[in-house]
Amino acid sequence: MAGIDYSKQDGVSAAERPFSVNAVSISGDTAFVGGSSSTPVGRIQLPARLAGQFGCNQVSLNPGGNSQVVSTANYHCYAAATDAYNYASINMGT
């Protein structure tokens, strides 16, 4: 006696599943939408001489900004709530 079985499974993007569309972080007893602080446009720690110009010590590149010119026109203070990279939506599951 012999048998053959075939099962094809396609990958499913986490973005297609409502429960996994966002990266979720936990701090103490609180869960919140988070993500990675390593963003595609970077998170840069500023030296003290530039921190005063920006009013913070970490910045990220503005959309369309020129990364070669360090100014408030090209960079903004990093804010985890808006700048964290949501890697969850590109994860694949089976």
Local confidence pLDDT in tens for the 94 residues of the chain: 778 888 887 777 777 777 677 777 777 888 777 777 778 888 899 999 889 999 999 999 999 999 999 899 999 999 887 888 877 777 766 5
Place of tokens 């890697």: 87
Q: Which DSSP category does 82 fall into?
A: H
How many angstroms separate the first and last alpha carbons of the chain? 31
Query: What is d(CA 21, CA 88) in angstroms, rounded to the nearest whole number?
Result: 6
Question: What is the residue-wise DSSP string for 42-79?
Answer: --EEPPHHHHHHHTSSEEEEPTT--TTS-STTTEEE--
Whether the predicted model's global pTM rises above the 0.85 cut: no
Place of tokens 């701090």: 27
